[in-house]
């Protein structure tokens, strides 16, 4: 069963550079959540904070009932075993074969025999489509294969919490769909709490139960997928539609004057050819036939019903529609 992860009033700076402030959110146990945000807004820093690799200077982070910013080193070591993490760069050991990379956490954290380890490693390599590549070195395979090897490694300890940082980067669209399906199926099978950091609009629209977004050093929102997907926030709309028009600039946030000039051009009918605009909400991806029913979906329904009255109207309408359709 999954473990909830909760950030409370977290603020993180490096020296004088404030990355984000007063971030509070709960990754509900066993649900799939996604964190979006333009490059450099501190998504990876947030992910690393959740496992105690980086320390926000203010706030608290609870994994289950344990405040990982205040627990002992030994407790933190135990807590880390609950996690499977795919770092943005894959973080494979360059001098080890894929087999040894994937086997590493098992050799490090368990007393399993080499034959047990082999069974688990081969199963995860098969799951991620890498069977036959186990003797290759990370330098001998493609970027997408390295991503998948990192994912295989993140899964070997049967984690209760899975954090994946841009699992889709370097993957082609077809493999991204397979990967999305894999994450949903894993969630159905082991009810793990999952956080996906991504730039992938399609993945964000179809995979997570909950979505949040970091922008201008704040968590703009975090909640049921319908809230962000129906939001009128300019930054959210810009991001979901991959447009240039909006508050997100190439290297930094735009100032008010720049935004007003662009808005005028946009209003005059010149659209900038971003990704295809989508109206409404695409139904969520479901576990494949033969998989157990995703318990997260059932729990989320109850949770969402309770907080329904606190949500914006558009989100309420979308939630009602999905409850009626009963599509997941
Ligand atoms: N260990 C570190 N020391 C100092 N600054 C850091 C460190 N790690 C990250 N930063 C800074 O924190 C900011 C946020 O970085 P982060 O990698 O979290 O962004 P991101 O949202 O994941 O971006 P992307 O989408 O490009 O991966 C950046 O300005 C980065 O330079
Ligand atoms: Mg990042």
Token pair of 34 as six digits: 């996604």
Token pair of 163 as six digits: 């954090």
Q: For atom 8 of ligand 1, which residue has the closest CA?
A: 45
- Verify whether ligand 1 is closer than 6 Å to residue 49 (CB atom): no
| Percent of the chain clearing pLDDT 70 (strictly above) | 90
Mean pLDDT highest for which of 22-26, 183-187, 269-273?
A: 22-26
- Verify whether ligand 1 is closer than 6 Å to residue 39 (CB atom): yes
- Verify whether ligand 1 is closer than 6 Å to residue 12 (CB atom): no
- Verify whether ligand 1 is closer than 6 Å to residue 84 (CB atom): no
Token pair of 124 as six digits: 């995860």
Q: Which long-range contacts (CB under 8 A, 24 or more apart) does 299-305 make?
A: 299/28, 299/30, 299/31, 300/28, 300/31, 300/209, 300/210, 300/224, 303/28, 304/224
Check if the beta carbon of residue 70 is closer than 8 Å to that of residue 8.
no
Q: For atom 27 of ligand 1, which residue has the closest CA?
A: 39
- Verify whether ligand 1 is closer than 6 Å to residue 19 (CB atom): yes
Confidence of residue 223 (pLDDT cuts 50, 70, 90): very high
Residue, of 271 and 258, whose pLDDT is higher: 258
Note residues around ion ligand 2 (Cβ under 5 angstroms): 43-44, 88
Q: Which of 45, 47, 51, 200 to mutate to test the pocket of ligand 1 (most atoms within 8 A of CB)?
A: 45
pLDDT at residue 292, as a whole number = 92
Q: What would the pLDDT profile of 133-182 be if each residue is shown by its tens digit?
A: 999 999 998 888 888 899 999 999 989 999 999 988 877 888 888 889 98
- Verify whether ligand 1 is closer than 6 Å to residue 105 (CB atom): no
Helix or strand run (H / E) with residue 74 = helix 73-80
Among all bound ligands, the one having the nearest atom to the CA of 43 is: 1
Contacting residues for 142 by C-beta, under 8 A, at least 6 apart: 170
Q: Please give the distance, rounded to the nearest whole angstrom, from the Cα atom of residue 41 to the centre of ligand 2.
A: 8
Residue 82 gets which letter from DSSP?
Answer: T
Q: Which of 13, 36, 40 to mutate to test the pocket of ligand 1 (most atoms within 8 A of CB)?
A: 40
Q: Is 268 exposed, middle or buried (0-12, 13-18, 19+ CB in 10 A)?
A: exposed
Mean pLDDT highest for which of 23-27, 293-297, 303-307?
A: 23-27
- Verify whether ligand 1 is closer than 6 Å to residue 14 (CB atom): yes
pLDDT at residue 44, as a whole number = 94
- Verify whether ligand 1 is closer than 6 Å to residue 40 (CB atom): yes
Of 19, 36, 208, 299, the closest CA to residue 10 belongs to 19
Q: What would the pLDDT profile of 76-89 be if each residue is shown by its tens digit?
A: 999 998 999 998 87
pTM: 0.89
Confidence of residue 266 (pLDDT cuts 50, 70, 90): low
- Verify whether ligand 1 is closer than 6 Å to residue 244 (CB atom): no
pLDDT at residue 249, as a whole number = 78
Residue, of 158 and 254, whose pLDDT is higher: 158
- Nearest atom in ligand 1 to 47's CA: 18
Check if the beta carbon of residue 303 is closer than 8 Å to that of residue 26.
no
Q: Is 65 helix (H, G, I), strand (E, B) or coil?
A: coil
- Nearest atom in ligand 1 to 54's CA: 1
Confidence of residue 268 (pLDDT cuts 50, 70, 90): low
pLDDT at 207 over 70: yes
Q: Please give the distance, rounded to the nearest whole angstrom, from the Cα atom of residue 44 to the centre of ligand 1.
A: 6
């Amino acid at each position: 069963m999954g473990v909830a992860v909760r950030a409370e009033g977290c603020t993180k700076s490096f020296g004088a550079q404030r990355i984000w402030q007063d971030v509070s959110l709960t990754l509900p146990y066993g649900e799939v959540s996604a964190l979006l945000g333009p490059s450099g807004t501190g998504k990876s820093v947030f992910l690393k904070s959740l496992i105690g690799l980086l320390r926000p200077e203010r706030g608290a982070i609870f994994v289950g009932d344990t405040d990982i910013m205040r627990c002992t080193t030994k407790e933190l070591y135990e807590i880390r075993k609950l996690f499977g993490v795919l770092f943005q760069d894959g973080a494979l050991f360059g001098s080890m074969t894929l087999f040894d990379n994937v086997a590493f956490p098992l050799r490090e954290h368990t007393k399993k025999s080499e034959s047990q380890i082999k069974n688990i490693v081969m199963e995860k390599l098969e799951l991620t489509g890498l069977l036959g590549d186990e003797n290759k070195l990370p330098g001998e395979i493609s970027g997408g294969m390295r991503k998948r090897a990192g994912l295989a490694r993140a899964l070997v300890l049967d984690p209760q919490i899975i954090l994946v940082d841009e699992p889709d980067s370097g993957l082609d669209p077809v493999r991204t769909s397979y990967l999305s399906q894999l994450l949903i199926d894993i969630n159905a099978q082991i009810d793990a709490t999952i956080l996906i950091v991504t730039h992938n609009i399609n993945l964000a629209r179809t995979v997570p139960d909950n979505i949040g977004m970091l922008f201008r050093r704040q968590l703009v929102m975090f909640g049921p997928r319908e809230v962000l997907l129906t939001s009128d926030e300019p930054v959210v709309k810009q991001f979901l539609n991959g447009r240039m028009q909006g508050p997100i600039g190439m290297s930094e946030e735009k100032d008010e004057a720049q935004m007003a000039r662009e808005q005028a051009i946009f209003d005059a009918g010149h659209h900038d050819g971003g990704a295809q605009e989508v109206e409404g909400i695409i139904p969520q991806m479901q576990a494949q036939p033969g998989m157990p029913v995703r318990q997260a979906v059932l729990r989320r329904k109850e949770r969402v019903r309770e907080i329904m009255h606190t949500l914006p109207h558009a989100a309420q309408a979308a939630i009602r529609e999905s409850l009626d359709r009963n599509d997941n």
